[in-house]
Copies of this chain bind each other. A is one copy, B any other.
Amino acid sequence: MSLIVQKFGGTSVGSIERIEQVADKVASFRADGHDVVVVVSAMAGETNRLIDLAHQIQPRPVPREMDVLVSTGEQVTTALLSMALAKRGQKAKSYNGSQVRILTDSAHTKARIREIDDARLRADLEKGYVLVVAGFQGVDEHGNITTLGRGGSDTTAVALAAALKADECQIYTDVDGVYTTDPRVVDGARRLSQITFEEMLEMASMGSKVLQIRAVEFAGKYHVPLRVLHSFQDGPGTLITVEDSAMETPTIAGIAFNRDEAKLTIEGVPDMPGVAYRILGPVGEANIEVDVIVQNVSHDNTTDFTFTVSRGDLPRAEDVLNAVAKEINAEKVSSDAKIAKVSVVGVGMRSHAGVASQMFRALAEEGINIQMITTSEIKISVIIEEKFLELAVRALHSSFGLDKEPEAENLD
């Protein structure tokens, strides 16, 4: 018998029918002898309905009251799921963030969890209750309701799993696991039975939007085994774990990509200390998020500085950069919205040489020019012309043998 924390998102609890299905699933885990804590989001559409009400009053509603408002969405789901479990003869009890006590800081609408009081939860688990906890919310030290920001229910689930030392934290979604790449782009894309936290982080931030990055970080930090599963299809999903050296780790876990990128270059920048800050400072102040940043070695005391932003932010970023260029006496600003990012991700590349050269060769063989390169310990990303994106992803997926099941994984 083990303790399992399960998280169901808004779509999975989007109607009474679906809530009943979730109750069936939870009950089947109970029947197998497991203790279960269920974390739920608001029913799909509910959070937007509430936000819309607030926006009819104010474009920027008071953050404290925004949290009071939207936190009701999850509370409704906890009550309904508890009823559906009771209907199945399961002892169940709902908890909101304040009742658990999920203590957070006071940063309304984007609070961070400080501490979880697990005393009441443990006592109720011992009495045989299924605990149904409202995701996404907590309470600050003054008793004010806080929320963790959108998608924060994943974080709630992982934090509860960590506090309760659960055997597994299961995140139910509309996909049946994490794939080697997007199946809509590559026919041979394959579900991974396992992936490391670090790989998952790199995959998630690249647009494989299965899990909240924060939740993955949290799970990695507290060594909570995390499993991504499909809400309404059976299957083992993908287990996200700490790197297991005994495991025959495949070199590359997957190919990630992001189409929503635009590139800005500021050329002929005088190469002096602090110049990177003088360029990126104003960009950050304008609330523009920067993804890839590349600065190469300088020639003649000037350098070129390139970074990418979301396409929607490109016009604003250009305005900011043109002003900056004047101030720092840079030569010119250029931009390109027709680019995309492709990355190979894998903890295996730490110990395997040649991943980069294999990647660049595969792209070259398809005649794809590389505009920018950045690397991290477990990821190599290239910026290419957008029209080559699908071609690049397929070439890399095949080159790294991702369409074939690795032998070690067949054992599980």
Contact = CB atoms under 8 A, between A and B. Distances in A.
A141 to B, nearest CB: 13
A358 to B, nearest CB: 55
B16 A56 contact: yes
A79 B54 contact: yes
B65 A82 contact: yes
A53 interface: yes
Q: How many copies does the complex hold?
A: 2
Contacts of A68: 75, 78-79, 82, 94, 96
A64 interface: yes
A120 B93 CA distance: 29
Nearest to A84: B57
A72 B47 CA distance: 13
Contacts of A82: 62, 64-65, 68
A57 B16 contact: yes
A375 interface: no
A66 interface: yes
Nearest to A69: B79
B87 A64 contact: no
Q: Among A56, A68, A76, A93, which residue has the most Cβ atoms of chain B within 10 A? A: A68
B76 A62 contact: no
Contacts of A16: 53, 56-57
Contacts of A312: none
A57 B21 CA distance: 12
A83 B99 contact: no
A62 B86 CA distance: 7
Nearest to A100: B143
Contacts of A99: 143-145
A189 to B, nearest CB: 38
Q: Among A50, A54, A72, which residue has the most Cβ atoms of chain B within 10 A? A: A72
A62 B92 CA distance: 10
A58 B72 contact: no
A80 B96 contact: no
A61 interface: yes
Contact of A94 (B54, B65, B87, B94): B65
A76 B72 contact: yes
Q: Among A82, A87, A93, which residue has the most Cβ atoms of chain B within 10 A? A: A82
Query: Top 5 nearest A-B pairs by Cβ distance?
Result: A69-B79, A72-B72, A68-B79, A65-B79, A16-B56
29 contacts: A19-B57, A50-B76, A53-B80, A54-B79, A54-B83, A57-B83, A57-B84, A58-B83, A58-B86, A61-B83, A61-B86, A62-B82, A62-B83, A62-B86, A64-B82, A64-B93, A65-B80, A65-B86, A65-B94, A66-B83, A68-B75, A68-B78, A68-B82, A69-B75, A71-B75, A72-B72, A72-B75, A96-B145, A120-B143
